């Protein structure tokens, strides 16, 4: 079960270069249900996600590099490309700060995954976070993949 909240970002942390990051590319074979392929640095996965916002089922399966590139030719819509910074928080939480590349290069999102819905609902956003967009489909990557740009 994936339980996460998602926020727009008003201002990037000044010490961003101190954190590790991943270079991510992903595409969608289907948006209903969500079936995604992802390349994160040199790790390749196929993911199924159920419907939902705050919490939903998520299954990840490894792919080979060859399988990823074979399936990449079959995606619908936009390829999403972004740099994901991993910023540790107290309570064993991590902010996944996504800075998107073209055609969504003005978009910056912060996501935090939680162990329980109660923990997610009790979370107080940091001062550099903007609007809570957890319940907005417009900020789900699967929606962005279908957007005409």
User: Which of the residues are catalytic?
Assistant: 28
Long-range contacts of 10-15 (CB under 8 A, 24+ apart): 10/128, 10/129, 10/130, 11/128, 12/97, 12/99, 12/108, 12/128, 13/87, 13/97, 13/128
- Could you give the CA distance from residue 55 to residue 38 in angstroms, rounded to a whole number? 20
| Strand-pair category, 108-113 with 2-9 | antiparallel
């Amino acid at each position: 079960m994936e339980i996460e909240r998602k926020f727009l970002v008003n201002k990037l942390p000044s010490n961003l270069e101190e954190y590790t990051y991943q270079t991510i590319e992903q595409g969608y074979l289907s948006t209903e249900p969500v079936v995604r392929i992802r390349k994160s640095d040199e790790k390749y996965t196929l993911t199924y996600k159920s419907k939902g916002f705050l919490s939903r089922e998520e299954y990840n399966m490894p792919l080979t590099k060859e399988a990823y590139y074979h399936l990449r030719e079959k995606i619908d819509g936009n390829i999403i490309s972004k740099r994901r910074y991993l910023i540790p928080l107290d309570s064993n939480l991590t902010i996944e700060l996504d800075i998107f590349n073209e055609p969504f290069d003005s978009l910056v999102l912060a996501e935090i995954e939680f162990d329980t819905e109660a923990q997610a609902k009790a979370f107080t956003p940091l001062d550099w976070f903007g609007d809570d967009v957890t319940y907005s489909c417009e900020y789900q990557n699967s929606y962005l993949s279908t957007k005409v740009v």
